[in-house]
């Protein structure tokens, strides 16, 4: 790595540029899927989120924002998370689309009659097939891709950042659709802190 590339300012510019480029491609490559995803979230009685590692952390952020909208949302794996049921929605993320626990959960959701929304880099992955037409394909490097072709960042960083930005965009679109005042959302923040 060049000394000029080692500075934090350069890194911020690189990350921001990669995120801008990848979100533009997501919108351009399948603009209809984003509308379908926001409709499914808005219509579902309960939303469940699941991802492993950093993808899971990004979806936890999404779950928190959806809770602020007043939606019934649960993070899979928490001790208070109920069983998923028919009509519910499972929002999952896996760069490879093959993360075993995430794929198993998606298969269980489908078996129970719940719907699945997947965020992945691989449109032909088992996870994408379980989600059917509600897969957001992120054209980023997988965590094992060290070629630097899809991203100059380490491992799956760009994918994980995209999951967070997609979650925030989902929240913002639903917030605008609902027309709720920010004070209403703020009232749903924890007062136990």
Tens digits of residue pLDDT in 93-122: 999 999 999 999 999 999 999 999 999 999
Domain range 3-180, CATH architecture:
3-Layer(aba) Sandwich (3.40)
Which one of 5, 18, 78, 160 is the catalytic residue?
160
Q: Measure the CA–CA gap between 193 and 70, rounded to whole angstroms.
A: 19
Largest CA distance in the chain: 55
Q: Is 43 a catalytic residue?
A: no
Measured between alpha carbons, how far is residue 86 from residues 78, 108, 110, 140, 160 in Å? Answer: 20, 11, 9, 32, 29
Q: Give residue-wise pLDDT tens across range 138-176.
A: 998 766 667 777 888 888 999 999 999 999 999 999 999
Give the SS3 label for residue 144: coil
Residue whose C-alpha is closest to residue 93's, from 122, 114, 132, 115:
122
pLDDT at 44: 97
The half-sphere exposure of 190 on its side-chain side, counting CA atoms within 13 A, is 4
pTM: 0.92
- The pLDDT assigned to 5 comes to 64
The pLDDT confidence band at residue 185, using thresholds 50, 70 and 90, is confident
């Amino acid at each position: 790595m060049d000394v000029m590339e080692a500075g934090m300012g350069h890194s911020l510019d690189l990350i921001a540029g990669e995120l801008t480029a990848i979100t533009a491609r997501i919108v351009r490559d399948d603009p209809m899927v984003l509308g379908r995803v926001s409709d499914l979230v808005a219509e579902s009685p309960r939303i469940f989120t699941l991802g492993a590692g950093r993808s899971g952390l990004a979806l936890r952020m999404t779950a928190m924002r959806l809770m602020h909208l007043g939606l019934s949302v649960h993070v899979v794996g928490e001790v208070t998370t109920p069983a998923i049921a028919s009509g519910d929605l499972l929002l999952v993320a896996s760069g490879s689309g093959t993360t075993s626990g995430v794929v198993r959960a998606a298969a269980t959701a489908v078996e129970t009659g719940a719907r699945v929304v997947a965020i992945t880099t691989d449109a032909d992955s088992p996870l994408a097939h379980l989600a059917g037409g509600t897969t957001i394909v992120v054209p980023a490097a997988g965590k094992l891709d060290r070629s630097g072709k899809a991203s100059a960042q380490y491992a799956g960083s760009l994918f994980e950042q995209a999951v967070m930005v997609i979650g925030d965009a989902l929240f913002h679109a639903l917030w605008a659709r609902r027309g709720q005042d920010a004070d209403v959302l703020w009232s749903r923040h924890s007062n136990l802190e």
